[in-house]
Structure 1
């Protein structure tokens, strides 16, 4: 294989290549050009390292560093044009409900976007796409349409089973030949499910099966069979447009529910087909693409041989990975005839000639549709131009999707910096297992929001690095909800303190002692450490850890003041709470216009201002009632006061906290949270009662054992012994034979142990009797 390169560009990549595998020829007419031949082993060696990368010269530096996938390390972030940041994010392929894998990316990118815009004060312009033309969409739309049409035929169950059988055989073959463990497990679940359904039909003598339920159990395998036999007859483009419209709408609803800000501009592939055709034409004109049988392919070898270009910048070691390349081409584009159209195995489709049963658009090369990778390149470039500051996406998109995006875009614009910073969110696992929509192993966003709030889900992502793997599990959510509770309790405490010290009133300003100075020092240190964390690859976990320490210091400050009846500086606490609230607004964890703390769920913004005067009046009245009840030992009235606090007010979202010698604290809390707290309290009391009963039972059992005098311990066991000494210890067995020394020694130990228990019982009985006598007198 002959490759022509510029020496200064390529020879730095050859350090792993042995001389036996490489032959370099210098061009005498142009010493800057060299030719060399390499074995396949040497070619792979060349691809091991990523190409050089340089920091843009944009002039605006906030000390922020980001992990750039183009170098796989933290790089100083400097946009190309001052504060302006051009950002493109890969959006979803909309053919099913959005899942927690989507949430992993889009919540993480939302947090990052908010930080760049609201904390670091960049002028961020954020574009995102919707992929509504794709192999997965085509296949799912056909399957859904054909399945729905099949159901309209109202076939008898026996005939439906006959139609299912060919697909079951195909599934059985897939199951036996599949080597991927995850896919094998998925096929096994599908196979077992349909076999059970078939058995139901065969065993159904009374004809009482719910046909609708059965059809859903057959859906997957029956849809496969229908698509294989009838898929090529689906020709209406509207069928392929209906599915993505439905799930795009659901996606936007999910993002709104997660408090993810919408993009500044949203692009859909179906709106950009003319621009895609023009973009492909320009790549052909530059010599980096070729037409083959109505399709257009990108020439990866020619591109990589170019002096100013490098293919597979993000994952150079994946260059030539046939499996990854086929997945990138799509399920409908990896047939033998399609693969044979390529000049090189690593080439990928820019434009695909449409086969029967696929949507199509007119083009200079015939009727066809866009390739997956070209879609993002065109939409991003149309909106943001020839060079982006940031491109984001899931880590699973690195190769081949993002590497192909880079190659075709840099071929089109003849540059090597179409993207300056490539940022990839980490994988998401479900309780330690890989999550995949294609493997039918995923949790939808709606399901997740049914268990936890949007804030709690966001806290999970805030407590993990955006570029690391995150495990979504009960344990992970427990950590997030515990953190939320810590922060919320702090906000409620500060609100209570501040409310009792009206803003600007004399009592809100106190002479600072060492305690106030220490808390303020901790506050200033926290702000510095939070900033350092955020400058370090937007380390929100480190930032939240420092905020938690500040909260802990503030709680200690208040607790000590209450115990010692010292003054509390409400102004200092308010300042700390304002800062933490401000940071949580930036993180997207507080969306309402709150001055301090989380908003109360389901309430208008000024609810606290409206109801608090009435609650304060009631709490003051209750305190006076309790004081009088104590004076007169009115236990029933005290219990009623406790019942109002523990049972009535929590149902209204109000928590009262009694402090000995101080005014009652009033806190507005989410009703569901209070109900959960009450349930936990009831459960704790139940467990405490059980433990007490068990302890009493053990004590009673111990007492019952202790009641028995050691002299009577063995005398009743005449079926074992026939003679006893004056202390009641056995001397002869039931047959009149003297007991051995070892037997006597063992019985002596039991006798002494019982003597101790009996003595303890007598002592306890005497103490109880004496106590009873004192109470009577």
Structure 2
């Protein structure tokens, strides 16, 4: 019996195709160069997307310099990338060191020198004091082995000697009044460092007012924050000052002692590196183990005021370092279980970071030169306090900064302040220079470095201005969506390939150098596309170019290279004004440009050159003063661009120089041509019979036509010589005939 229709249908049903998800590709993961492992490690925060980050801040005793900018701009870029690109929730903590040997010494010296100046020492007394100060200074110079430091000290010595001579002559000549005062002031300025050191060695222990030691760091901290704001460096989420955390530091030191890794000695407390390293639970000097025992580095870490025979004898081991320092006369002090004293340098970061971030943080940042002993000592004392072995998960260290290839050092007086750097270049230009280099490598701050940054900024800005001009062209809603040809498909593919490359570069230790090169390549591709469209009188695709420009703008915002809320490209208008200058003035400039085009068209038709000249003057002289550039293109509408006024004026000056050089070369070529023609005419005037007669230094006898037959010694010329001279004679004969013909025809000479 045949089966039912339902059963037949079931047997005939075709098998449904199976669906499988696409294979896809695994997105790259962020890797950071970790100084602890000296490798690029995959970045995995301890608590989901939250990142705890501690950054070593400045010791505020002088002006912030480009070395500070190197660290804080670089960390600002890294922080922004983690926060705004990778979408981590970053909690950023930074300290201010306002208790330190350098601060104490500088504050005392400034105070004592100001007192000395106020007393207005007479010339004879000043000369005597300078001679006295030179004795220990010369001893210091003679014992200095560091070539850079020696060169700096020799420079000071020469400057003091040059300033001393005119004052000595003035005293001998019994000069008085303003002239003498000028010589005294000149010596005081040049000998300030010398006298300050000398005064401090004599009277430093008598300085007891604690306000003297807080006034200096308070002033320079304020200046530091101003510099960071000027550089568009984001403020930390929390700022800690050593002076505000002394109780926490005392408690931190006490626990290290209680845990058996610290010991009191003569009112100071030291970290026992030997006991820590031999505990079986800890490792000392994780970052730079090869530096263990480097006494020079260890002494620099202890500070100038803390290195003495007495202090060294207090230690169980030469590698031990101070957690708490007993204060000597002339130093600020706070109460502690061990007596009046002050925090050591390394302990401040451990206590403050530990208080806010706990027993383990994700990232710790600082300059490359802080690895040992500062950061290694931080690690040791923190792990001794928490009894763990993972206080920091990722240690990030920014590279050194050199100035035109030379080591930069505040102590060597070879540094450029941030304020001075900002007089020559904008914060964006400095940041672009940093972005063009790896954050962990040495960066050379030089004219070539900054010129590369300026060229990159101009290159991007021109692209943004061109895209803005395209987007301003009127188009209805339908016209915004144009059909894509092969060129658009190719450009869009390039766009997405570049975005992928940018992402991979950022995953690779935040490689901003490669990112900027990928962005440059993308802009170059867009420029070729726009140029090809212009050549064929076709409109470029608005939406595609806008997408590229918006992406580039977004990346520059991520890097902090665009400071304000600019929708597309670099903002136009004063920082913090809240004024969108472009949106405000561009409609009026567009009307002006269209009016000018109409006037120029009529002027050409009616042949009125004066009006055309006025139009050129408006373009070349008037509008650049207002930050407006007009670009005339034959057969196309004038392009209107808002550009920084100084940039336009510089462009105008460069254009004038090029034109002047072109004019000079043209005049030079005309002059040479005239000289050549005059020389040729003078030669043409000479009859062939006379051309050799004046060369008596070569020939002594001539034939009836004026051709030489004998040389100066009376020797008959060879056939070859005679043949050569005859050729010259015939050529001159031809030239002279041309000249006679010109005269006959009435041609002017």
Q: What TM-score comes out, normalization by structure 1 length?
A: 0.87
Q: Is 1:705 the equivalent of 2:671? A: no
Aligned to 1:68: 34
Structure 1 counterpart of 2:564: 592
Q: Give matches, 1:729-744, under 5 Å.
A: 729-733=707-711, 737-739=715-717
Question: Counterpart in 2 of 1:527?
Answer: 499
Partner of residue 264, structure 1:
237
Deviation at 1:697, TM superposition (A): 2.5
Is the 8 Å Cα contact of residues 599 and 605 (structure 1) preserved in structure 2? Answer: no
Q: Does 1:106 align with 2:72?
A: yes
CA distance in 1, matches of 2:85, 2:636: 40
Aligned-partner Cα distance in 2 for 1:236–1:221: 23
Counterpart in the other structure of 1:616: 590
Q: 1:492 to 1:743 in 2, by over 3 A?
A: same
**Contact between 1:377 and 1:409, CA under 8 Å: does it hold in 2?**
yes
Hey, what's the Cα distance between the residues in 1 that align with 2:191 and 2:723? 76
Aligned to 1:537: 509
CA distance in 1, matches of 2:706, 2:537: 66
Q: How far apart in 1 are the matches of 2:329 and 2:716? A: 104
- Cα pair distance change 1:232/1:639, threshold 3 Å: same
Partner of residue 93, structure 1: 59
Q: Which piece of structure 1 moves more, 404-413 or 743-752?
A: 743-752
Question: For residue 7 of structure 1, what is the aligned residue in structure 2?
Answer: none
SS at match of 1:674: helix
Structure 2 distance, partners of 1:737, 1:452, is: 76
CA distance in 2, matches of 1:257, 1:163: 42
Q: Tell me how far apart the structure 1 counterparts of residues 731 and 378 of structure 2 sit (CA, whole Å).
A: 84
Matched residues in 2 for 1:652 and 1:579: separation? 29
In structure 1, how many angstroms separate the alpha carbons of the residues matched to 2:499 and 2:131? 66
List aligned pairs for 1:542-621, cutoff 5 A: 542-602=514-574, 604-621=578-595
Cα offset for 1:688?
1.3
C-alpha spacing 1:755/1:109, structure 2 compared with 1 (3 Å): farther
CA distance in 1, matches of 2:730, 2:269: 98
Deviations 1:711-768 (A, max 9, x none): 3543444565444457754333467554467866886797799899x69x99xx99xx
Residue 203 of structure 1: CA displacement? Answer: 1.6
- Larger mean CA deviation between 558-567 and 293-302 belongs to 558-567
Q: CA distance change for structure 1 residues 658 and 745 in 2, over 3 Å: closer, same or farther?
A: same
What is the DSSP-based 3-state SS (H/G/I as helix, E as strand, rest coil) of the residue aligned with 2:40? strand
Is 1:289 the counterpart of 2:262? The answer is yes
> Mean alpha-carbon deviation: is it higher for 689-698 or for 438-447?
689-698
Matched, 1:148 2:114: yes
Q: Distance in 2 between matches of 1:671 and 1:533?
A: 35
Rounded Cα–Cα distance in structure 2 between residues aligned with 1:342 and 1:511: 80
The verdict on how the C-alpha distance between 1:226 and 1:528 changes in structure 2, with shifts beyond 3 A counting, is: same
Could you report, residue by residue, the CA deviation over 1:366-388 in whole angstroms, capped at 9, with x for unpaired residues?
11100000011111111111101
Distance 1:186 1:542 in 2: 38
Match of 1:197 in 2: 163
Deviation at 1:231, TM superposition (A): 0.3
CA 1:727/1:340 → structure 2, altered by over 3 Å: closer, same or farther?
Answer: farther
The correspondence of residues 100-499 of structure 1 with structure 2, limited to 5 A, is 100-204=66-170, 205=173, 206-207=175-176, 208-209=179-180, 210=182, 211-499=184-472
Which range moves more in the overlay, 131-140 or 722-731?
722-731
Give the distance between the partners of 2:101 and 2:632, measured in 1 at CA.
63
Q: C-alpha separation between the residues in 1 aligned to 2:721 and 2:228? A: 80
- Structure 1, unmatched stretches of 5+, are 1-60, 773-777
CA distance in 1, matches of 2:636, 2:588: 19
Q: Which moved more, 1:694-703 or 1:724-733?
A: 724-733
1:332-383 superposed Cα distances (whole Å, 9 cap, x missing partner): 0111110111000100000000111111111100111000000111111111
| SS of residue matched to 2:293 | coil
Aligned to 1:25: none
Q: Deviations 1:457-512 (Å, cap 9, x if unpaired)?
A: 0001000000000000011000000000000000000000000145x633332211
In the alignment, the residues of structure 2 paired with residue 139 and residue 312 of structure 1 have an alpha-carbon distance, to the nearest angstrom, of 29
Cα distance between partner residues in 2 of 1:302 and 1:739: 105
2:8 alignment counterpart: none
CA-CA distance at 1:568 after TM superposition: 1.3
C-alpha separation between the residues in 2 aligned to 1:379 and 1:92?
15
Shift of 1:605: 3.1
Distance verdict in 2 for CA 1:82–1:718, change over 3 Å: same
Look up the SS of the partner of 2:191 in the other structure. Answer: helix
| Structure-1 separation of matches of 2:120 and 2:400 | 44
SS at match of 2:629: strand
Separation in 2, partners of 1:223, 1:552? 57
1:221-279: CA deviations, max 9, x gaps?
A: 00011000000000111100000000000000000000000000000000000000000
Judged with a 3 Å threshold, the aligned counterparts in structure 2 of structure 1 residues 699 and 334 are, in CA distance, closer, same or farther, namely same
The residue number in structure 1 matching 2:5 is: none
Offset from partner CA, 1:25-64 (integer Å, 9 cap, x none): xxxxxxxxxxxxxxxxxxxxxxxxxxxxxxxxxxxx9700
Q: Deviations over 1:127-154 (max 9, x none)?
A: 0000000000000000000000111111
Task: Quote the RMSD (CA, aligned, Å).
Answer: 2.4
Decide whether aligned partners of structure 1 residues 634 and 311 sit closer, same or farther in structure 2, where only a CA change above 3 A counts.
same
Q: How does 1:753-764 map to 2 (within 5 A)?
A: none
Structure 2, unaligned stretches of length 5 or more?
1-26
Q: How many residues align?
A: 706
Structure index of larger Rg:
2
Distance 1:713 1:308 in 2: 105
Give a deviation string over 1:678-735, Cα, whole Å, max 9, x none: 0111111111112222222332333233331383543444565444457754333467
Cα distance per residue 1:515-564 (max 9 Å; x no partner): 11111111111110100000000001100100011101111111111111
Deviation at 1:68, TM superposition (A): 0.3
Change (3 A) 1:749 1:594: farther
Match of residue 689 from structure 1: 663
Deviations 1:252-311 (A, max 9, x none): 000000000000000000000000000000000010010111000000011001112000
Secondary structure at the aligned position of 2:631 is classed as: strand
Contact 2:163 2:186 survives alignment (8 Å)? no
- Are residue 643 (structure 1) and residue 617 (structure 2) matched? yes
